[in-house]
Amino acid sequence: MPISSSDRPFAGKTAAIIGGGVIGASWAALFLVNSLKVIVSDPDPEVEPKVKAIVAAALPALEELGYNIADVERNLSFESDNSQAVIDAYLVQECGPEKPAFKQALWKAIEAAAPKNALLCSSSSTIPASVQFTEMTDQSRLVVGHPFNPPHLMPLVEVVPTPKTTPEVTAQALAFYNGIGKVAREIKKEITGFVANRLQAAIFRESVFLVSQGVVTLDELDDVVTNSLGIRWATSGPFLSFHLGGGPGGLTHFIEHLGPPMEAAWQHLGTAAFDDATKALLTEQLGRSYGTTSFYALSETRDAKEVAVINGLSAVEAAA
């Protein structure tokens, strides 16, 4: 990420985004800098200024990633009727409410209106495609294309087929997302939360437990992560990290010698709940730390740091 300005394999194709919230608008920004024509469909009468504001806010980070952002908004349009929005779509990226009944009815209507070869992808983070496709005639067409938030910035897309999805559709989805500069990976089995959110949930549960027990404050815990595991996992991931931690013997040596202590540590991991006391504690600590800075300033700083990480890793990989 990103694709070079001379290589826009999907330039000129139409992406219909169903749902103009934060996720949909972030997708729109990425699609636009990849020279796609973008149609956002949303019943909100105020959706146009909302989406345009999010796109405008996303463009500086995309420019830092190397994209040409000049006049990209000219390819952005709006259509309140979902069926009309998808008529010429190469891709339909659904970003609607996380409600199974809503998605089931939506995909029934989209399947009837979209081209027969259109790529149909849901951004859902919680509802597998096999739950969403129940009203479709050809259930092999639908996959989940779940981004990590924000989609215009975070490279990952989890492509999650169903047992009915054809290999050709899965390959088409992977090719599209990789072709617009994402890091698309196939998740080979449907599982609640897919992969990235399951990992995030596990880590956040332990984080909340440690803060609730007074081991650290929430901002101190963030410092621990960003100055250790955050850096390690951004460059190596858990398995490669422990493979290297095992020395020349690799992961096998690590498991043989440090596996038992690791298993013992698993027995001491905490549980957490957002009960009233925990919520009050987190709110109070937030007010004394991050709450003293505006949301927009925090977001800008986060984006700048994430862009620096992405560009830094890209430079190392390019030189390898």
Distance between CA atoms of 5 and 16, rounded to whole angstroms? 22
The count of structural domains within the chain is 2
Scanning the structure block, which residue is given the tokens 């989406």?
A: 51
Distance CA 123, CA 145 (A): 5
The CATH number of residue 272's host domain is 1.10.1040.10
d(CA 217, CA 211): 5
Would you give the DSSP letter of residue 181? T
Residue 164 CB coordination number (10 Å):
15
Q: Are residues 175 and 212 in the same domain?
A: no
DSSP tally for the chain: helices H, then strands E = 13, 8
CATH classification of the domain holding 155: 3.40.50.720
Can you give the pLDDT at residue 29? Answer: 98
Give a yes or no: residue 211 inside a domain.
yes
- Candidates 126, 125, 95, 127; CA nearest to 110 is 95
Q: Which domain holds residue 131?
A: 14-186
Looking at residue 2, what is its pLDDT? 56
Domain boundary pick from 134, 161, 186: 186
What pLDDT does residue 320 have?
Answer: 84
C-alpha 185/C-alpha 188 separation (Å) is 9
Do the beta carbons of residue 180 and residue 31 sit within 8 Å? yes
Q: What is the pLDDT of residue 150?
A: 93
* Report field, pTM of the whole predicted structure over 0.75: yes
Strands (E), 227-294: none
pLDDT per residue of the chain (320 residues) written in tens, 0 to 9: 655 555 789 999 999 999 999 999 999 999 999 999 999 999 999 999 999 999 999 999 999 999 999 999 999 999 999 999 999 999 999 999 999 999 999 999 999 999 999 999 999 999 999 999 999 999 999 999 999 999 999 999 999 999 999 999 999 999 999 999 999 999 999 999 999 999 999 999 999 999 999 999 999 999 999 999 999 999 999 999 999 999 999 999 999 999 999 999 999 999 999 999 999 999 999 999 999 999 989 988 999 999 999 999 999 988 88
